[in-house]
A and B are shown apart, each in its own frame.
Chain A
Amino acid sequence: MSAILEVRDLRTQFDTLDGVVRAVDGVSFDLARGETLGIVGESGCGKSVTALSILRLIPPETGRIAAGSSIRFEGEELTGLSEQEMKRLRGHRISMIFQEPMTSLNPVLTVGTQIAENVTRHLGLPKKAALARAVEMLDLVRIADPGRRVYEYPHQLSGGMRQRVMIAMALSCDPQVLIADEPTTALDVTVQAQILDLMLELKEKTGTAIVLITHDLGVVAETTQRVVVMYAGRKVEEAPVEALFDNPLHPYTRGLMRAIPRLDVEADAAGTRPRLQEIPGLVPLLTRPIIGCAFAARCELATDRCRTTPPPFVDAGGGHIVACWEAKP
């Protein structure tokens, strides 16, 4: 299956008072048609900046995608496109949803107007037809009574409904790729479950490929097919979801999995609480160039080689790769 999105050696940097922050530092991955790819990592690992880079939403005053980075969408290089050309892509062929829908919705326009606006801009539908499309989309995301809701304002909707509206808007022009950055993090668990189900169901219906960015390994496990694990701006491991959870190879991925308090692991009869595994230390500062492996300072397996030479990707077979000198695939 050919990739719809190919990211190669992506480097995104920001200028700050403390120096240049290398938020994304040489990340490569492919997204296949109709696939759900998870990008997972902790705060500051560069997962959201990766999403913003693909959409070319890095503020030019402070940040840039470094020369040599490549983002190809259906074979077309995005890094060289003008803002005008990007505007034709965004919301049309590549769409996005973010964590807090309220900040992405215009509070003074009805949700119908906002969805219709997108449809009119990209598909050239007249106003009436665009509004009809908005009703159709609200129905698709299972908002009850869409003919009435279409005239409501964002503040009249609950958090879960607003995220449904964002999904309706994002899918209104049949995008090939949907980038979802922590789409359920601000929602309650029962509502999160509804939204995840909705996204998966719509993906099957429309064939839209999804990049799901999250810190939550539970969400990744239950919704994605393939996973990229990021640490300190770099990809450290990539694998099909079952392989990653069955056999995590990178010491960081292993550490993460042992650090989660699990719901599905039975406590022993006495009810004693097994200790959670801690990952000692802190994420390295991204203002200084990282020599060697970014995780070396926190890794129990680290050797001198890890501290001096960046590890190459080792192929464990079946699409499972890991950047570690010491991992035994």
Chain B
Amino acid sequence: MSGAPVLEVENLVKHFPIHGGLLQRRVGAVKAVDGVSFAIAKGETLGLVGESGCGKSTIGKTVLKLIEPTAGRILLGGEDVTALKPGAMWPHRRRIQTIFQDPYSSMNPRLSAGTIVGEPLENFGIAKGKDLEARVVRLFERVGLRPDSMRKYAHEFSGGQRQRLGIAKALSVNPDLIVADEPVSALDVSVQAQVLNLLIDLQEELGLAYLFISHDLGVMRHISHRIAVMYLGRIVEITDKRTLFTNPLHPYTEALLSAATAPDPRRKRRGKKIVQGDVPSPANPPSGCHFHTRCPYAVAECKVTSPPLKEVAPGHHVACLLR
């Protein structure tokens, strides 16, 4: 893989202030993202997996610059875009697009599907008139929608078709990277399979990179090349998919894999290593290693020392004092 990574994130931090009391003073912060670094190469899928409140969606929004990071750097194709104001960010927005869990909520119900998909092309002044229409037809065909459905409205499409519309819209400006935040979580499995296959086909054809955010390990294993496991704002383990599933090193990764269900009745629940307790609040994370309150292997040191993300094998990073 040559050239600068499509996306690089260095020590990204995003804290949301908590206000309280009579004067609404700042009384604390939700440490949604707490020092996260990773890079995505051209044509690669990096999966971000974790449970609710781990900060995976906040990372997605921050790299899209929909929200401003508290600290850290975001580089798109080697260019630092962290400090860019919305106007200066504008030309970079073509390179990074997004698809959401519920595409319907991001579509104007009064516009036709064709207009919705063509909107970015108009906004960026890439095409207009007949050229625009021809491009939209090609996009519809590319994502498996019939071009004659261009005149329909978003509510006339099924959930899976709406996700195809969302993908067509994201593709319209030829981005390098698509941030996909739980894009198949709301879909039934038979439709989910259609959308995952489409995303993989598009990647192979166009050399797209994905930052794929999901809580579903089965989906992750299917679509990702590398996977980062997050817990309370930090990456606890990052490696290629094969290694993660065959040789997980962080106790939290182990717990996640053990807790996941598989469609195999002989893989009985008994004897699984199930971690106890709930995920603590990111407004008040535990000291030291955030996972020590639920970790079956934790020692006294884990309560005080925050483990750094160490490279234990080429490309395999783990944040655990015991590994």
Contacts and interface: CB of A to CB of B under 8 A. Distances in A.
B189 A42 contact: yes
Contact of B259 (A192, A221, A257, A271): A192
A217 B260 CA distance: 12
B135 to A, nearest CB: 26
B39 interface: no
A16 to B, nearest CB: 16
Contacts of A116: none
B279 A261 contact: no
Nearest to B219: A261
Contact of A259 (B189, B257, B275): B189
B261 A161 contact: no
A263 B189 contact: no
B256 A190 contact: yes
Interface stretch (B89-97, B170-178, B190-198): B190-198
A160 B278 contact: yes
A263 B221 contact: yes
B241 A263 contact: no
A279 B265 contact: no
A158 B278 contact: yes
A222 B268 contact: yes
A256 B193 CA distance: 10
Contacts of A200: 269
Nearest to A217: B263
B275 A221 contact: no
Interface in A278-318: 278-279, 282
Contact of A242 (B193, B196, B265): B265
B217 A273 contact: no
B242 interface: yes
Contacts, number: 137
Nearest to A252: B190
B267 A190 contact: no
Nearest to A160: B278
A186 to B, nearest CB: 10
B264 interface: yes
A255 interface: yes
Contact of A260 (B189, B194, B268, B279): B189
A168 B306 CA distance: 38
Contacts of A222: 261-262, 264-265, 267-269
Contacts of A192: 259, 261
Interface string B104-129: 00000000000000000000000000
Nearest to B278: A158
A267 B241 contact: yes
Given A42-B189, A263-B217, A263-B218, A276 B259 contact: no
Given A189-B51, A190-B274, A264-B267, A277 B262 contact: no
A193 B270 CA distance: 11
Nearest to A270: B242
A194 interface: yes
A192 B266 CA distance: 19
Given A189-B260, A190-B256, A193-B258, A255 B190 contact: yes
A263 B265 contact: no
Given A191-B278, A221-B263, A242-B265, A263 B245 contact: yes
A221 B218 CA distance: 15
A189 B262 contact: no
Contacts of A196: 261, 269
With a 10 A CB-CB cut-off, give which of A159, A262, A276 has the most chain B CB atoms. Answer: A276
B200 interface: yes
Contacts of A31: none
**Best-surrounded residue of B218, B256, B263, B268 (most CB of chain A within 10 A):** B263
A56 B239 CA distance: 51
Given A42-B189, A190-B256, A223-B269, A276 B240 contact: no
Interface string A160-196: 1100000000000000000000000000111111101
A18 B91 CA distance: 47
Nearest to B184: A261
A160 B197 CA distance: 33
Interface in A1-58: 42-43
A215 interface: yes
A325 interface: no
B188 interface: yes
Given A215-B188, A275-B197, A188 B262 contact: no
Contacts of B260: 189, 218, 263
Interface string B200-225: 10000000000000011111011101
A194 B274 contact: yes
A42 B193 CA distance: 13
A134 interface: no
B269 A262 contact: no
A196 B261 CA distance: 10
A223 B219 CA distance: 21
Contact of B222 (A160, A256, A273): A273
Nearest to B201: A275
Contacts of A245: 263-265
13 contacts: A42-B190, A43-B188, A190-B259, A190-B279, A197-B269, A219-B261, A223-B269, A242-B265, A260-B193, A261-B218, A263-B218, A263-B260, A282-B158
Interface of B: 51-52, 158, 188-190, 192-194, 196-197, 200, 215-219, 221-223, 225, 240-242, 245, 255-269, 272, 274-276, 278-279
Interface of A: 42-43, 158-161, 188-194, 196-197, 200, 215-223, 241-242, 244-245, 255-257, 259-264, 267, 271, 273, 275-279, 282
List the 9 closest A-B pairs by CB distance, nearest first: A218-B261, A261-B222, A193-B259, A279-B190, A188-B51, A276-B193, A42-B188, A259-B193, A261-B218
